Structure 1
């Protein structure tokens, strides 16, 4: 089963048609009414919501063709280009024709200032490039849109999110999974701002799919369940099916075929109820694979033939034909297996898919090996080896070597066989294949009279057979616990729904608390309250996502540093203003005999007041919670002024900045520092920064 095809099935979010819509647009009714004059018909067509029509594709094509004619007649250039874009997107023109049409739409749109159509035509061209395998060209095109036309995209946030999602898909092709998730999260952030639940659902499932490809099954399952819950809430059957498909992939890859079968059957039910043809094909394929692995080929063949009959695309049908053949091999119907393998080969050849041809040759080789047609088996393995380029597909390379080794062993070519088998051994992962290879090597060594080597190979064969038996027993145990697995899966889904509801209630509660804080306190206190609130919320959710806790803590520290820096700046600015007032007052009262006592007290006022210091300590302790207490412990008898100086140096301030903060001369700070050194017998080779650095924060 090609898991990569299944993962990418649901991430291509189209711009337009919904196959399960139930609304017949009144505007379309007006358009098809011949008694309405052409101008009103065209106006009706321009008001159609194409995402909510239940017309067949043939009817849509007719509407678009007639609409293009009317729009050209009335010189509605925007409508002409828009309908041409829809017609090209959903029509059956060849790839080059589509690229040419999109290029014409792009040029016309740029000339006439049709910004949305300009962007859409470039995006659709990139999708065509992707369809024909020109992934780098497609990626360059999307990146060009995101970088060179960002102002246009900011006007159309939905299209902006789709482009990020497309870039995620393309990075998936190149295996840059970190970049993939970065792009999907950009799309998710935009859709969250738009409150677009459908877009968010798609993004969550795509992130889950990316984690699956990276073999991070815990995160993959987490995001898939979140997508499933959201799809349930908004009633999106398509996304529910996609979520179940991804969960089926996770269970299948981990050989939990009972759980895989349960969710695949749910996905299949949704696909059939809503006429999702692609979903029916994929779910039938997965269900068949589950039944095969659960030793029920009779049920497997029915679902596999259903997928075969529904599929029309040659490339995909090639893979399904091979799976049909595998079902018939399990049923020991080798003639039908050979028939469907030949069909797969014809399909692979018709689309010039080299890797698929190699894959079919390998399947033929093992079929003939199983039926003891050794000459034909060796011939097909050699054909595969000749066609496959070095390093192109490591799995197929290992299968070719294994097949040649087993075939030549049966033909009595012991030395040749061992050369193949030794080469393939480091590449094998499955216990059954490793055991089979060691058994063949034991036979080969025995025929070469190398009895010690033969005994060693047989011993390893027995070890792997025992491991395989234990693995089979484990699989049997999983089958026995199938009912428990189903209940567990349903329980997890129920818990996920409840967690979502609780999370939404928490978000609403926190929002009300934030508003209350802003009304009662100033901006500074409100900011601190929000930080503490966020900190409490992240602590509660820590068990669900430990990584978010670290991020939240860093946000708190950074924000507190900012508050601390702002307070320092405010105090310095305050000092400067008071200095200016002092100078002005001294000038004003210079002719008075002594000035008033109140004036003199004002002139001697120090700016870092107790109130300032208390506010400063609150912010400082958030950033360095233990510094003040540890300073008092390290330096017994530390004065308040000395503690202030230590704190300011801890913030990295210079002597001049400390003086400004304390509203004294730099020389006063220097004298205070010298007295501090003498008081505690400190070495003058250590500067104040080194001293405060050694104090635990």
Structure 2
């Protein structure tokens, strides 16, 4: 579908603007001055204007200012603002719309942000006026201008509010084209079923005795055909393409005849009717080249596909070159539909190079296709999200209108309730903030207490482990002293036997070991776990030896604690070193310390 590249504020706007443009430059008249404009008459017209006549009035004024010097235009609008009713929301809404309209049509590149500033001002004034008919007109102006600027999200949000929510196209006769334009917007936002629904709604309201209506009806039928094609219903698509074609003649509308043949040719290609498709696409290409490059580029892509099927690679190469040149010759801000055509061209290029067995070129164009395709899909997703948000905002604005009506009847009461509500809200916020602060303070205190408890537990465990170790060492020392004393005094055989029984007992009993291990784990939580990771088959005896080495006990102390000889301690140390695969030059105590 050809995107609109001209404003759609009314059916007569295009014709009138062109007439003014051509007559001004063809007749060579001197540039007008501010005194040449009926400013007082415009002020009176805008002040007394009915809501349903807003379009017509704005078009009449805009067509006289559109091709005037920008300085004079700005001065005219300034005079309109100064002489008019400054406190009238209706008047100010129309001036804002006029300002947006002139900015849009004076700029080669659509300055959507600047346009939206004035359109937002228009909406604000329309809401304050609290007139549903004026609000409807304002919403439709916003939507149609955004569509002209190809800002589809805003176009959809405001046009849908105007057409769907108020359902006023039939009520206001000057706006009976809304459904058709809204159908085009829906097509570009991929809502094809609603596109068909609203496009069909607009057709019965268009009497065919008007040539402009015949043109728009044919264009609308083409849109419906494209929507059916996107839905995968080719028979219905072909029917509406044929209906659209019947509205145009080659003498009056040769471009639109060619456009329809392009889409009909694509359908015949899909059906395998290559010769029919080739004839139709070639006609479309020859008629639109250098006039409607979007369609010419698309026709060239499908002609290339036909020649690829017929193994005519040179002809396919020609049409593909033409498609890239034509689609890249479009204005810098390429439209979404044109990007869709360009991705088709890239994919066909890949098929062409595949037919020539040129794998590098196939990869290059598939990469180009994938990048553009992913970009378009990402835009579609983001647009959907943005549309949803704008619809919500639009619904909120509609609700605001109803609120404004209540405000006029009970302003003081509303203000009082607002004060109460704000006060309650502030009190609630203060309570919530205070509760949050108390909760945060409690959590900090709890964390500090837990940290202090853990630190105390660690200190206690260290003290208990040290005390336990000292007791074992003292017990060992005591036995050594008794042994020494008995030997010095040369005790009787019975006493010597008792000493032998005492020293042969395991000083570190199983119960002692479990208690020792619990205390040791508190001080070194990961020691035994890391030790087992280094040596999965390490024995309990080796674990005990490792723990005593970690505590830096002497070999004699370890021998006494474990109830073995000093030589056995040395052997156990050596076995532990081998188990841990540590060379002799590595200090075993330092190594074990790193495991804790």
* Partner residue, 2:343: 435
Distance 1:349 1:493, change over 3 A: same
* Partner residue, 1:275: 171
Please show how residues 205-224 of structure 1 align to structure 2 within 5 Å: 205-213=97-105, 214=107, 215-224=110-119
Verify the 8 A CA contact 2:8 2:148 in the aligned structure 1: no
Distance in 2, Cα, partners of 1:473 & 1:154: 48
Q: Secondary structure at the match of 1:272?
A: coil
Unaligned runs of 5+ in 1: 13-126, 499-697
Distance in 2, Cα, partners of 1:423 & 1:236: 53
- The TM-score with structure 2 as length reference comes to 0.52
Structure 1 position 233 matched with structure 2 position 128: yes
Structure 1 position 136 matched with structure 2 position 22: yes
* Partner residue, 1:194: 84
Distance 1:279 1:492, change over 3 A: same
- The TM-score with structure 1 as length reference comes to 0.45
Please show how residues 327-342 of structure 1 align to structure 2 within 5 Å: 327-342=227-242
Q: Which moved more, 1:332-341 or 1:207-216?
A: 207-216
Asked which structure has the greater CA Rg, the reply is: 2
Please show how residues 142-221 of structure 1 align to structure 2 within 5 Å: 150=35, 153=38, 156=41, 158=43, 166=60, 168-169=62-63, 179=69, 183=73, 186-187=76-77, 189-195=79-85, 197=88, 198=90, 200-213=92-105, 214=107, 215-221=110-116
* Partner residue, 1:8: 9
* Partner residue, 1:461: 366
Number of residue pairs matched by the alignment:
373
Distance 1:342 1:140, change over 3 A: same
Q: Secondary structure at the match of 2:232?
A: coil
Distance in 2, Cα, partners of 1:402 & 1:423: 9
CA deviation digits over 1:311-364, x for unaligned, max 9?
Answer: 331111111111111122123332222222222222222981233223223232
Q: Secondary structure at the match of 2:177?
A: helix
Distance 1:155 1:9, change over 3 A: closer
Distance in 2, Cα, partners of 1:343 & 1:9: 24
* Partner residue, 1:261: 156
- Displacement of 1:188 after TM fit? 5.4
Please show how residues 466-505 of structure 1 align to structure 2 within 5 Å: 466-480=371-385, 482-488=387-393
Structure 1 position 425 matched with structure 2 position 324: yes
Q: Secondary structure at the match of 1:380?
A: helix
Distance 1:425 1:4, change over 3 A: closer
- Displacement of 1:257 after TM fit? 5.3
Let me know the Cα RMSD of the aligned residues. Answer: 4.4
CA deviation digits over 1:375-423, x for unaligned, max 9?
Answer: 22222222234434x6333333333333433333333322111112112
Structure 1 position 365 matched with structure 2 position 251: no
Distance 1:209 1:360, change over 3 A: farther
* Partner residue, 1:596: none
Please show how residues 600-615 of structure 1 align to structure 2 within 5 Å: none
* Partner residue, 1:42: none
Match of residue 404, structure 1, among 294, 303, 320: 303
* Partner residue, 1:446: 354
Please show how residues 77-92 of structure 1 align to structure 2 within 5 Å: none
Distance in 2, Cα, partners of 1:7 & 1:493: 24
Distance 1:188 1:369, change over 3 A: farther
Distance in 2, Cα, partners of 1:377 & 1:204: 49
Structure 1 position 302 matched with structure 2 position 197: yes
CA deviation digits over 1:576-625, x for unaligned, max 9?
Answer: xxxxxxxxxxxxxxxxxxxxxxxxxxxxxxxxxxxxxxxxxxxxxxxxxx
Structure 1 position 413 matched with structure 2 position 312: yes
CA deviation digits over 1:184-242, x for unaligned, max 9?
Answer: 76245325413285555334223323444531010111111112222333455555334
Distance 1:230 1:11, change over 3 A: farther
Verify the 8 A CA contact 1:409 1:417 in the aligned structure 2: yes
* Partner residue, 2:138: 243
Distance in 2, Cα, partners of 1:279 & 1:346: 26
Q: Secondary structure at the match of 2:247?
A: helix
Distance in 1, Cα, partners of 2:148 & 2:57: 30
Distance 1:444 1:246, change over 3 A: same
Distance in 2, Cα, partners of 1:201 & 1:139: 32
Distance in 1, Cα, partners of 2:80 & 2:319: 54
Structure with more contact order per residue of length (Cα contacts < 8 Å, sep ≥ 6): 2
Verify the 8 A CA contact 2:354 2:362 in the aligned structure 1: no
* Partner residue, 1:393: 292
Distance 1:407 1:255, change over 3 A: farther
* Partner residue, 2:254: 354
CA deviation digits over 1:471-508, x for unaligned, max 9?
Answer: 41452354356543334456789999x9xxxxxxxxxx
